[in-house]
Structure 1
């Protein structure tokens, strides 16, 4: 982790990406995020709100396995929960579109 205190998401995001350099870690993030989207769609279609309980398990479970076993670092979520949450979605969007959405990112 870093001692730097990030004030904006724009300055945090390059650090966020530096914590996700392992391809397996990133893939696990993408899988977890896509499962969150699929589960949300399922909930909206079926009205089974109890499945909302799965969302943090899917979203963070896959990501944390990536960090602890592949990237071998501590998730930024523990220090920057909101910026890290946003980072997950921006990183996924950059992967899907193949475009940088945040200037200075190197996804």
Structure 2
């Protein structure tokens, strides 16, 4: 049965534990940024169908990393909104060089 969380703050440590392998985090971050860039490209220059491709690329990378690297079930299936927020937060922390410090703060 899926864990229940009362807030994103409570979910965040669980999210990071589910992404313990550095390779999983790397694939997630790459997929998240690729999805964001595809969405921005669709909005700014088109074509519109790039917006449809954005979640396929983003979630495809994430789900494959869980299947092939982490060997666990993606949190997207039980906590879709918080999982997306976690993906975006992790990608931002990685891009700003603060992910390592956050992992240490969370005991990982």
Unaligned runs of 5+ in 1: none
For the pair 1:38 / 2:37, whether they are aligned, the reply is: yes
RMSD value, Cα: 1.9
TM-score under structure 1 length normalisation: 0.86
**Residue deviations 1:34-75, cap 9 Å, x none?**
111221232133231111110111110000110000000000
Show structure 1 runs of 4+ deviating over 4 A: none
User: 1:1-107 residue pairs with structure 2 within 5 A?
Assistant: 3-99=2-98, 105=106
Aligned partner of residue 49 in structure 2, secondary structure: helix
Unaligned runs of 5+ in 2: none
> Of the two structures, which has the highest relative contact order with CA contacts closer than 8 Å and spacing of 6 or more?
1
